[in-house]
A and B are shown apart, each in its own frame.
Chain A
Amino acid sequence: MKHLNAEPSAPAAGAATTELTTISIRIPAPLRDYAGGAAELSLPATSVRAALAQLERHHPSLYRSVCDETGAVRRHVNLFVNLAHVRDRHGLDTALAPGDILTILPAVSGG
């Protein structure tokens, strides 16, 4: 298990090549049925946007649960690269480095 880095990588420009950038996506329990029951997926992506594009291609139901049809991340879904919320970095353009962990979590909201 990779240790979590507190700081995600710099913006995507200049990041490692896709072939070398295998990252992990952690999937919350309510969405695991859309990933064949997996709690974690490994895939190549150099940015959060690229990782979501991979989800759209290979796990469309999971993607639709994370992003609406405009491509925006749903209002009550949060994405973290390692320990940092992507909104505090570069949003969907936040770069990913080999071994980074992209965590999908539902927000604390509801009633």
Chain B
Amino acid sequence: MPKRVILCVGTKKGLFVVEAPTSRRGFTLRGPFSPGVAVYSALIDTRGRTPTLYASSCNAFFGMKVLRSTDLGRAFTETASAPAFPKDDGRALANIWSLEVGDDERDLWCGVEPAALFRSADGGDSWNMVSGISNHPHAGKWEPGNGGLCMHTIVRDGTRVHLGISTGGHYLSEDGGETFAASNDGIGVGFVPDPYPEFGQCVHKIASHPGAPGRLYIQNHGGWPDRPGIGVLRSDDHGHTWRSIAEGLPSDFGFPIVVHPHDPDTVYVLPLEPMTRTCPDGAPAVWRSDNGGGAWTRLAHGLPEKESFFTVQRDAMDIDTLESPALYFGTTTGQLWIGHSSGDEWSCLFDSLPPIHCVKVAVV
């Protein structure tokens, strides 16, 4: 029986853990863990009898670490090692952008900067590079986006693995991660002459629903006046082809994209004004589609109505799995918001945290 809602909030100055009963009243905050060090990714692993919390600690001075907690985020320790490129590879780890669960209780996957994939069979104590994507023939041609050349999304569905790389695009494995192919048919770009290249797209985030794995959504780098509508996309064939679902949104630029836990047709984005990458007209809003992107509804009740110019980064929005789920997003201005009733009613949980990089929630 779930007892609590727990969030990992990765910030520029460390990791915070937020907890509340499943009533979602009385959220408490603890941390920062790994104080002063940026945390770009977190994972609440609910596979085992006791949930395990993971977070990346991205120390600009002393390198990358992976943190682990087995007491619901009351204490964290470093795993025995962090991902690292082979000594003769020539690349050096610059950041850890994604942590995801693998096949069994100890299997972890990790996407890093420069874009590469690592896998751990022992809960993060040792790591091996996955060469099928890390040494892909395209890898030398991927370019860093504004956030760096990062592998920020790992979506697993049986033997299929979807990866999001900025800027590299969407890569798909159908053999459990041994080999990968660029799968960007329909994913556009606005920053090279060819509007639909084989690879090189600036994919911002990929989301899916485990009950409908053939359906995927992408928040792509949109906001191009000459190439409208390429920013929010949907696939219905396991990511082989993509089509725009951006019509009706105030902007097709944004970073996060989230799927409702009980309905694969319900999807959320947080559109941003493309030049400043902040809230359009200073009025933040989440937009929800209940029909797979056919129409969109603005959700802003309780959010500021003006003079708010924050950004919500690619991993800084998530949704819990209670019967009537709540959305959560964190801002670059350090606010953590909750959207009750599937985003219909918003309130600010904490308003003066450090700039927020990631928000992950689970009901445990």
- Which residues A60-95 have CB closer than 8 A to chain B? 64-66, 68-72, 74-77
Query: Which residue of A65, A69, A70, A71 is within 8 Å of B62 (Cβ)?
Result: A65
* Residues in B neighbouring A76, C-beta threshold 8 A: 60-61
Q: How far is the CA of A61 from the CA of B60 in the complex (A)?
A: 16
- Contact (Cβ within 8 A) A65 B63: yes
- Contact (Cβ within 8 A) B84 A69: yes
A110 within 8 A of B: yes
Q: Which residue of B lies closest to A33 (CB)?
A: B78
Q: Could you tell me how many residues of chain B have their Cβ less than 8 Å away from some Cβ of chain A? A: 16
* Residues in B neighbouring A109, C-beta threshold 8 A: 60
Query: Is the interface on chain A under 10, 10 to 19, 20 to 34, or 35 or more residues?
Result: 10 to 19
- Contact (Cβ within 8 A) A74 B93: no
A30 within 8 A of B: yes
* Residues in A neighbouring B59, C-beta threshold 8 A: 65
- Which residues B183-201 have CB closer than 8 A to chain A? none
- Greatest chain A CB density within 10 A among B84, B87, B92, B93 is at B92
- Contact (Cβ within 8 A) B92 A106: no
Majority DSSP secondary structure for residues of B touching A:
loop
Q: Which residue of A lies closest to B85 (CB)?
A: A69
B86 within 8 A of A: yes
Q: Which residue of B lies closest to A111 (CB)?
A: B12
Annotate B34-67 by CB proximity to A: 1 below 8 A, 0 otherwise.
Answer: 0000000000000000000000000111110000
Query: Which residue of B61, B81, B89 is within 8 Å of A106 (Cβ)?
Result: B61
**Shortest distance between the CB of B223 and any CB in chain A (Å):** 27
A107 within 8 A of B: yes
A31 within 8 A of B: yes
* Residues in A neighbouring B93, C-beta threshold 8 A: 68-69
- Contact (Cβ within 8 A) A77 B92: no
Query: Which residue of B61, B86, B87, B89 is within 8 Å of A77 (Cβ)?
Result: B61
Q: How far is the CA of A30 from the CA of B61 in the complex (A)?
A: 10
Q: How far is the CA of A68 from the CA of B91 in the complex (A)?
A: 9
- Contact (Cβ within 8 A) B92 A72: yes
With A64-B84, A69-B84: A74-B90 Cβ-Cβ less than 8 Å: no
Q: Which residue of A lies closest to B87 (CB)?
A: A69
* Residues in A neighbouring B90, C-beta threshold 8 A: 70
**Shortest distance between the CB of A65 and any CB in chain B (Å):** 4
Instruction: Name A's B-contacting residues (CB within 8 A).
Output: 30-31, 64-66, 68-72, 74-77, 106-107, 109-110
Q: A69-B86, A69-B87, A70-B87 are in contact. List 18 more A-B contacts (CB 8 A).
A: A30-B61, A30-B62, A64-B63, A64-B82, A65-B59, A65-B62, A68-B93, A69-B85, A69-B89, A69-B91, A69-B93, A70-B90, A72-B92, A74-B63, A76-B60, A77-B62, A107-B61, A110-B61
